[in-house]
Amino acid sequence: MNQIRSILLYALLLSSLVSMKAQQIMDVTPLNLSPFGDPANLIRNYFTGSGIEVIQVESSNVLPSIGHFVDGVDAIGFQRGLVLSTGFVAGIADHGVIQASDLNSSNITLPELTSIATDDINDVIYLRITFKPYADSIHFRFAFGSEEYPEYACTFFNDVFGFFLSGPKPGGGTYNSQNIALIPGTNLPVSIYSIHPENQTAPPCPAKNDQYYVNNLNSNIQPVFDGFTTPFSAEASVIPCETYTMLLAIADVGDAAYDSGVFLEAKSLESPVEISSSLPSNMPVFPEIATLDTFLLTFDNIHPDHFPLKITFAGTATNSVDYQTTYPFLVITSPSNILHLVIQPIQDTLNEPLETIILNIDSDETCFHTDLILYISDSDSLFQPTDTLSLPPNGSLKLHGSGSSLFGKTWTFSLTSNLPVPNGGLLVESAIEVELPFERLDNIAFLDQVCLNITHSWDADMDIYLIAPNQSVIELTTDNGGNGDNYTSTCFSPAASNDIRGGLPYAPASAAPFTGIFQPESPWTDILGTPLNGEWRLALKDDQNSIDGVLQNWSISFTSAALDNFQYLWSNGDTTPTMTVNAPGVYQLEATNTLSSFTKTFVVIQSSVSTQSPETAEQVFQLSPNPSTGEVTVQLLQPYEVISLKVYNPGGTCLLQQAGAGTIQGGAQLPKGIYLIALETTEGIFTQKLVRW
């Protein structure tokens, strides 16, 4: 039988070479050449989504047979994901490469696979994941493909795979290596036996469940396998916070001649719960001067076993010192509860770093935990409720409306490395240490851009990745640029409008040297939730065997430009955060966002003489309003010679002017509002705010 198989293998090899695909679309990276580094990191940061706590990952450790792929929608129905193969995964994307290899892993035995196999198993590849779910069900998506299709659909060469779940069942009993890779609506496992077309070779047999079969024989379509299934969902009911083991395994059956593979959609292993907040979707930073509104927390899709939930306050900010709330803790008893929460920052005169308020949400009965982080910022170093600024003679002045020095700030970390990138597929890394006042990346807009300069005379050889401190990975660019030279001032940003490939499968040589700002190949959301502080790494690989390259330098920057999306309204109608004025006066600003607001008054005076003096305005003159008459008197407290006294409105217009102090002539007729009293003396100009009610 093996001799016959060898002859058939040779014939099919010739057939596949004739139909070799002209251009590769799906890109597959073996784990031994991957920035993820090991199976555990791949599972934690690429396969699992929300609501899954991964405890441990074991594997067969044959890294060339475990990998990840991108651009797989046209090939197998998933944009990104993991792949396990009984051969080498690097060949899966090349349809002209026949999948026939012996990994010499027959010394690995798995009773779970043996129990459903029709013959001896070979080339066993597996991942064993121990985890806890947060919700009452788990699910993920997969597809199966094989070179055994279609000729051996009804033989004992029935390459086998399964997803075997072990752990407690809801309502009693246990899952004992129960296979959940099932055909929809049945208890039949997905296999070559259970899904195949009509087979007219030996032995002939009718089609079975062929509505789920994709014929790929003698085609130029990826993947390499001659047949594969449509996407399926694997799912099971579970008990929240109990410990489960999932064995993902595949093996050749009967011999090791033809290979099979199973594709797992990225981020699809989930057991999600939902806690939604009316906090801004970006990282919520509130200046001390802000008045906060009530914000809401709602609790959906949370299993009843998690209740009651207890909310406690932590962080570097201190209740009753840095903020005020009447709740030492809160208890949520059911999903129908809606929490109305008020936290008010307390303004002080201290110069403090950014402070955090952390709302820890825990279940005393289960493993469930999540948190929300709020940040309290000192007012801007220039920010007081009223600021007095000098207008240069015959000049203009910019008034900045931010309530905190953090708003509109950019932090840049860079490294000049001159790091060689050798050819041959060796992954090299360059690390930058990042230190920021924020704890984690809760909003991708906070990441400004990643920029790099690389010299290389064949750009398509280069694969470039960004690795976050939690080991999650962003694929920046792979195999782009053809025989073009270099990456020069190339930046990747969440705000970019163009992707690095220009809408093509691969960017052509004419796109080199990629000067500009681009979207990367994988979504930025892959790194959401990573700690911000620590090592950010740029990983580079030349995946061919002829030309070396050099990473000259790179940088990563973060911006607070979008923090909390304050809307601005000045007293003259301007709506920008920064306003230019060219006249003295009182300019008032109101800044609001979805949960907070603050006001600021700028007093702008004409700098005709020096305003530097040991005395403050309050030490030089005193305002004495007379409520009964409406008149206002300016009483001089220092023996200074007064040159003029002027009254300005919030728009900067001088309303009243007189030669000396005393009762302000016409002051009783001023309507209600805020005014600036500017007293020009031989010792300087002194100003005070006048509020008429």
> What's the pLDDT at 600?
80
Domain 274-377 top-level CATH class: mainly beta
Share of the chain above pLDDT 70, in %: 89
Rounded-to-integer distance, Cα 434 and Cα 500, Å: 25
> Would the pLDDT of 212 be above 90?
yes
**Non-local CB neighbours of 651 within 8 Å, separated by 6+ positions:** 571, 572, 585, 587
* Domain ranges within the chain, ordered by starting residue: 2-265, 274-377, 410-559, 581-692
Rounded-to-integer distance, Cα 384 and Cα 348, Å: 11
Phi, psi of 679 (to 5 degrees): -105, 110
Rounded-to-integer distance, Cα 281 and Cα 412, Å: 23
> What's the pLDDT at 219?
74
The tokens 């809401």 sit on which residue?
296
Q: What is the CATH number of domain 581-692?
A: 2.60.40.3080
Asked if the 410-559 domain carries CATH number 2.60.40.790, the reply is no
Rounded-to-integer distance, Cα 581 and Cα 653, Å: 11
Which range of 392-401, 489-498, 629-638 scores highest in mean pLDDT? It is 489-498
> Would the pLDDT of 211 be above 90?
yes
Mean pLDDT on 294-309: 86
> What's the pLDDT at 688?
82
How far CA 224 is from CA of 93, 145, 200, 247, in Å, comes to: 6, 9, 22, 25
**What is the total residue count of the chain?**
693
Share of the chain above pLDDT 90, in %: 42
Structure confidence by residue, pLDDT tens digits, 655-670? 899 998 999 999 888 8
pLDDT-derived band of residue 105, with 50, 70 and 90 as boundaries?
A: low
Rounded-to-integer distance, Cα 196 and Cα 211, Å: 9
> What's the pLDDT at 39?
94
Angle 324-300-41 (CA atoms, 0-180°, nearest 5)?
A: 90
> Would the pLDDT of 252 be above 90?
no
Mean pLDDT on 627-640: 88
Beta bridge partners of 83: 67, 263
Phi, psi of 170 (to 5 degrees): -60, 135
Are the C-beta atoms of residues 285 and 377 closer than 8 Å to each other? Answer: yes
Alpha helix locations (H) across 107-231?
Answer: 111-114
Structure confidence by residue, pLDDT tens digits, 30-67? 998 899 989 999 999 999 999 999 999 999 878 889 99
Structure confidence by residue, pLDDT tens digits, 506-528? 999 999 999 999 999 999 999 99
pLDDT-derived band of residue 94, with 50, 70 and 90 as boundaries?
A: low
> What's the pLDDT at 383?
42
Helix count and strand count (H, E) for the chain: 5, 46
The mean pLDDT of the chain is 85
> What's the pLDDT at 10?
33
Structure confidence by residue, pLDDT tens digits, 359-395? 999 988 788 888 988 888 876 543 455 677 777 767 7
> Would the pLDDT of 19 be above 80?
no
Q: Tokens at residue 298, please? A: 């709602």
* Rg of the chain (C-alpha set): 34
The tokens 């000259």 sit on which residue?
552
Are the C-beta atoms of residues 149 and 194 closer than 8 Å to each other? Answer: no
Beta bridge partners of 323: 319, 345
Rounded-to-integer distance, Cα 639 and Cα 78, Å: 83
**Non-local CB neighbours of 185 within 8 Å, separated by 6+ positions:** none
Least confident residue range of 140-144, 254-258, 441-445, 573-577: 254-258
> What's the pLDDT at 531?
95
Structure confidence by residue, pLDDT tens digits, 416-454? 979 999 998 889 999 999 999 888 998 898 999 999 999
How far CA 498 is from CA of 509, 510, 608, in Å, comes to: 17, 16, 51
On the question of a common fold for 274-377 and 581-692, the answer reads yes
